[in-house]
Amino acid sequence: MEKDNEQRNKKRDEISSEYKWNIQAMYPDEAAWHQDVKDALEMSESFGRFQGHIMDSPSSLLDALETECRISRKLSHAIVYSHMKQDEDNGNSKYLEMNQKAMTAAAQISAALSFMVPELLSGDPDQIMEYVDEEPALETYRFMLQQIIHQQPHVLGKESEHILSALSDSLGAPGEIFSMLNDADMDFGSVEDSDGGKHQLTHGSFIRLMEDEDRTLRKNTFERVYGEYSKLNNTIATAYNYSVKEDAVISRLRHYESPLDQAMSPEMIPIRVYDGLISTVHEYLPAMYRYVCIRKRVLGLDKLEMYDVYRPLVEPSGLEYTFEEAVDVACKALQPLGKEYVTTLRKGLLEEGWVDVYENKGKTSGAYSFGSYDSFPYILMNFTGRLNDIFTLVHEGGHSMHSYYTRKTQPYIYAGHSIFTAEVASTVNESLLIRYLLGEAEASGDLELKKYLINFYIDEFKATLFRQTMFAEFERETHKIVSEGGSLTPETCNTIYDELNTQYFGPDMEHSDLIKYEWSRIPHFYRDFYVYQYATGYSAATAISQRILSGGEKEKQDYLRFLTLGDSDYPIELLKVAGVDMSTPEPVDSALKVFSGLVDQLDQLME
């Protein structure tokens, strides 16, 4: 761990190059980045030649679609690069300016191309499909065109689409403002433990400090973080209010029944999936209350506080890892996915520079997988050497391998992923990892490790299925208020969140006056109705991982085929390829039964 500790909290240029992503592979010379942005803008300016002529013939339709793809592919490569360079150090104004330039170009290009879809839909949709049948090269675009036709009632006229496209850069302002406030401007300083020792508090160290055995340190960490957010309550609530207002206005302009309908409709996901997730989780809240009660008992506390929820109930020794050790554990756990999967991932993590490993000053907090069609499937993380970090690694590695297989198989237009399916690819890996670790503990007869891992598994359910569903319920309530003509004041957001937190944790959790500010540190709230897909993905992944482990070659190949399909069909249909039907409540209910069983096991082991 000494090497890991040396890497933490350094300036960017002090981090060893072997632990930085190989982003220069995208643009060895940044002059090429500027040229790509310029070329994409020039190509979009000449795109006007198609206006009024897209549907002249099958060949004119094909030419327009291929040109749009070339523009999008070039621009997305540039945006990915500048975004990731900004995330390396949000205090570096050079890459902030480059990213702003790219996003401004994106808005201009979107406006220049905005006539395309309205023009496609201004005529007879049957003619579009007739062109596809006549021109073999259009076959690739069949599903994409079907998706466009499906959205016909929600596409505005050419002038209106042009206006919305021109405003797209500004409309994203609330999220950008929050990101800069959260990642660049906020400074939590240091917090003291019970002996007066000081610990640097950052986004990256927050969970680690909240897991510490020193309750004074946990309390001080909790109070410092939420105390700082409380000072910004008015500012963040204003940013979030306008983000939700944007969702509400756009959904009305596009003739959706609600912002939720707008989020679900393009991917043909029934709203009952969202509402059903929340109602099913509510049915299993008594199991969560039992877990909270066990936690209070095992920790020996008269009062269980919110700053006690991250503390492991059991803490075996030896659960600290170098990055290289973490990669080894991850690859062993993922062996059920086959040699090619594991070999490719290991090479990407250790040799090809897919991952940016350690925290540095100004680096974006958390973790993600990102990349363009023509780049490596990069991973950003803030590795601290804990078991949690191996889960983060396999999670983001799942996203990256999903991108790897898809980009290798699908054309550019289908190389993305719905979040609904993407979170399955990441969480299958997490599920395989916990089952591998539990198997190792069982085989070694290490009872303390088994207790720890069951507790860890329960906490993964808590963090992903319960917590993200609570977030989803918060979003549903805040969007409902704004859609009905209200506004989100700080008091409104605080009250909704406070009541939900009390409902989800139950009677054995002491009420905290500070937890009501927790909503204000969640960046995903600036992507409307995004977080519920973590919970549905976790449920689907629980079923798929069990199918892989209890099945044979067919079950493995079904899943690997799913990874190659990208956006080539609607999400629920894609998941059927992997063996689950998310249009039914069964996967969520089945996953929550696993959770309830784990709570029973923990209760018995802790007696």
Residue among 67, 2, 71 nearest 37 (CA): 71
Q: Which residue has the tokens 């050079």?
A: 94
Residue among 203, 210, 209, 176 nearest 188 (CA): 203
Eight-state DSSP code of residue 190: E
Note the pLDDT tens digit of each residue in 410-440: 999 999 999 899 989 999 999 999 999 999 9
Backbone angles phi, psi at 10, to 5 degrees: -95, 170
Helix axes 467-483, 233-253, angle to 10 degrees: 70
Residue among 107, 119, 258 nearest 170 (CA): 107
Residue among 89, 102, 97, 78 nearest 26 (CA): 78
DSSP 337-391: G-HHHHHHHHHHHHTS--EE-S-BTTPPSS-EEE--TTS--EEE----SBHHHHH
Note the pLDDT tens digit of each residue in 298-331: 999 999 999 999 999 998 888 899 999 999 999 9
pLDDT of residue 167: 83
CATH 1.10.540.10 for domain 2-171:
no
pLDDT of residue 2: 41
Q: What percent of the chain has pLDDT over 90?
A: 87
Say whether pLDDT at 485 is over 50.
yes
Structural element, H or E, at residue 192: strand 190-192
Tokens of 312: 């492991």
pLDDT of residue 218: 98
Structural element, H or E, at residue 7: helix 2-7
Strand partners, 314: none
Say whether pLDDT at 3 is over 60.
no
Note the pLDDT tens digit of each residue in 343-390: 999 999 999 999 999 999 899 988 999 999 999 999 999 999 988 899
Going across the sheet that includes 378-380, the strands are 355-356, 378-380, 368-370
Distance CA 590, CA 472 (A): 20
Q: Are 15 and 7 in contact (CB under 8 A)?
A: yes
Torsion 83-84-88-93 (CA) sign: negative
Helix axes 553-564, 419-444, angle to 10 degrees: 140
Say whether pLDDT at 264 is over 70.
yes
Give the CB-side neighbour count of residue 470, counting CA atoms within 13 A: 22
- Please name the amino acid found at residue 198: K
Note the pLDDT tens digit of each residue in 501-513: 999 999 999 999 9
The model's pTM: 0.84
pLDDT of residue 201: 94
Confidence band for 9, pLDDT divided at 50, 70 and 90: low
Distance CA 49, CA 52 (A): 8
Q: In the predicted model, what is the mean pLDDT of residues 434-449?
A: 94
Backbone angles phi, psi at 370, to 5 degrees: -150, 170
pLDDT of residue 122: 85
Distance CA 151, CA 353 (A): 40
pLDDT of residue 81: 98
Tokens of 365: 């907090």
Q: In the predicted model, what is the mean pLDDT of residues 121-131?
A: 91
Tokens of 394: 């396999």
DSSP 155-175: ---HHHHHHHHHHHHHHTHHH
Note the pLDDT tens digit of each residue in 13-62: 899 999 999 999 999 999 999 999 999 999 999 999 999 999 999 999 99
Q: In 3-state terms, what secondary structure has residue 311?
A: coil
Distance CA 262, CA 250 (A): 9
Eight-state DSSP code of residue 464: I
Q: In 3-state terms, what secondary structure has residue 440?
A: helix
pLDDT of residue 337: 98
Tokens of 539: 């449920």
Nearest-5° angle of CA 45, CA 51, CA 54? Answer: 120
Q: Which residue has the tokens 């601290």?
A: 384
Q: Taking the mean position of all CA atoms in its chain, how far away is CA 148? A: 25
Torsion 429-430-434-435 (CA) sign: negative
- Please name the amino acid found at residue 605: L
Positions annotated as catalytic residues are 396
pLDDT of residue 4: 43
Considering the four listed CATH numbers 1.10.10.200, 3.40.50.150, 1.10.1370.20, 3.30.420.40, the one that applies to the domain covering 173-186+232-315+418-607 is 1.10.1370.20
Say whether pLDDT at 8 is over 60.
no
Do the strands 378-380 and 368-370 form a parallel or antiparallel pair, or are they unpaired?
antiparallel
**Length, in residues, of the chain:** 607
Contacts 24+ apart (CB under 8 A), 190-194: 191/217, 191/220, 191/221, 191/224, 192/216, 192/217, 192/220, 193/217, 193/220
Tokens of 206: 């927050």
Looking at every residue in the chain, the average pLDDT score rounds to: 94
Q: What percent of the chain has pLDDT over 70?
A: 99
Do the strands 355-356 and 378-380 form a parallel or antiparallel pair, or are they unpaired?
parallel
Distance CA 113, CA 56 (A): 17
Distance CA 133, CA 139 (A): 7
Q: In 3-state terms, what secondary structure has residue 191?
A: strand
Residue among 173, 183, 163, 165 nearest 242 (CA): 173
Cβ density class 74-101: b for 16+ within 10 Å, e for less: bbbbbbbbbbbbbbbbbbeeebbebbeb
Do 2-171 and 173-186+232-315+418-607 come out as alike in CATH topology?
Answer: no
Task: Map out the domains of the chain as residue ranges.
Answer: 2-171, 173-186+232-315+418-607
